[in-house]
């Protein structure tokens, strides 16, 4: 009976944190847009503007295509397996940085498929759109490569960690400074690469002709995909701020840390997006690899 109660309580906690993150994702988009506007010297939009766009599009009605549903589904799946407020997850085996990253990349691929299937692909007619897609392609490839490195470094420095859930649990108990520091550098490297992908307003160039409910679903897929990257990178960079398992392991400050971590990632993403410098991501990733390997060899 106790096991059933504990399982139900864990499921309830998971549902609560999923509801919170689904609510917060469009607000993070607003926050990132405000930071970008401030850095560029422009007037920022109103808080909650993204939610108003989503609701207006949904109320407009219309059919929703398969690609839009897939993009949204992959983004939700990535969030479902990630440790968000707590390190408990329904699918700890899938909560691996590479697996989560592939889900987020699959969500992006579905958006590309939508853009290609809606008549002639927009990038065949528009040179700026072509450059946009090419930029996305190399960034997605670089992110996949760094995710492979991150998974390998975790396996080397912390064997048997069992994905992000085990990583956050173990680093909460044992600091492992070299691994923790290396993951901070790797997270920042990925954020520097992914920053333009997290500007969901600019990324709507992928579906210029979508409208109504379908556009709302595509926008939500972008928002949840961006939020998935924020959660993934926050888990890697700040694993010690993820709360423990069960109701007994919860503290108000642990839950309060969740939106703070996500807002910090959104703010840094906007900063990297406005301050694009070639080679920064490479230097950060190299520093992360060197730090983890040095700690492992010196152990």
Lowest mean pLDDT segment, chosen from 9-13, 128-132, 197-201, 221-225: 128-132
Q: For residue 258, what are its two tokens?
A: 């969740």
140 vs 114: which has the higher pLDDT: 140
Q: Which residues contact 157 (CB under 8 A, 6 or more apart)?
A: 176, 178, 179, 182, 292, 295, 296
Per-chain mean pLDDT for the chain: 78
Beta bridge partners of 243: 86
Q: What pLDDT is stored for residue 249 in this prediction?
A: 46
| Structure token digits, residue 235 | 């888990």
Q: How many residues are listed for the chain in this entry?
A: 299
pTM to 2 decimal places:
0.87
pLDDT band at 74 (very low <50, low <70, confident <90, very high): very high
Segment 177-233, tens digit of pLDDT? 788 888 889 999 999 988 888 887 777 777 777 778 888 898 899 999 999 999 889
Q: 239 with 172: CB under 8 angstroms?
A: yes
Q: Are 177 and 280 in contact (CB under 8 A)?
A: no
User: E strand or H helix at 130, and its extent?
Assistant: helix 127-157
Decide if pLDDT at 98 tops 70. yes
């Amino acid at each position: 009976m106790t096991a059933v109660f504990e399982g139900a309580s864990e499921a309830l906690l998971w549902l609560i944190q999923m509801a919170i993150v689904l609510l917060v994702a469009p607000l993070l988009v607003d926050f990132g847009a405000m930071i970008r506007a401030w850095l560029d010297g422009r007037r920022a939009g109103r808080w909650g503007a993204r939610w108003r766009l989503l609701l207006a599009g949904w109320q407009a009605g219309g059919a929703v295509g398969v690609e839009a549903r897939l993009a949204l589904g992959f983004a939700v799946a990535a969030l479902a397996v990630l440790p968000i407020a707590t390190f408990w997850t329904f699918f700890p085996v899938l909560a691996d940085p590479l697996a989560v990253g592939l889900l987020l990349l699959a969500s992006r691929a579905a958006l590309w498929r939508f853009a290609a299937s809606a008549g002639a692909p927009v990038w065949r007619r528009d040179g700026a759109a072509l450059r946009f897609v090419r930029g996305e392609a190399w960034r997605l490839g670089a992110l996949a490569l760094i995710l492979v490195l991150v998974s390998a470094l975790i396996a080397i420095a912390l064997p048997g960690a069992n994905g992000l859930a085990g990583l956050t649990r173990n680093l909460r108990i044992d600091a492992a400074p070299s691994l923790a520091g290396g993951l901070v550098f790797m997270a920042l490297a990925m954020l520097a690469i992914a920053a333009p992908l997290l500007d969901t307003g600019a990324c709507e160039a992928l579906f210029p002709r979508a409208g109504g409910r379908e556009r709302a679903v595509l926008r939500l897929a972008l928002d949840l995909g961006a939020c998935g990257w924020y959660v993934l990178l926050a888990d890697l960079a700040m694993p010690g701020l993820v709360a423990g398992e069960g109701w007994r392991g919860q503290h108000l400050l642990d839950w309060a840390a969740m939106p703070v971590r996500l807002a910090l990632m959104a703010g840094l993403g906007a900063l990297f997006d406005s301050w694009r410098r070639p080679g920064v991501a490479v230097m950060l990733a190299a520093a992360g690899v060197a730090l983890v390997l040095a700690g492992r060899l010196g152990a």
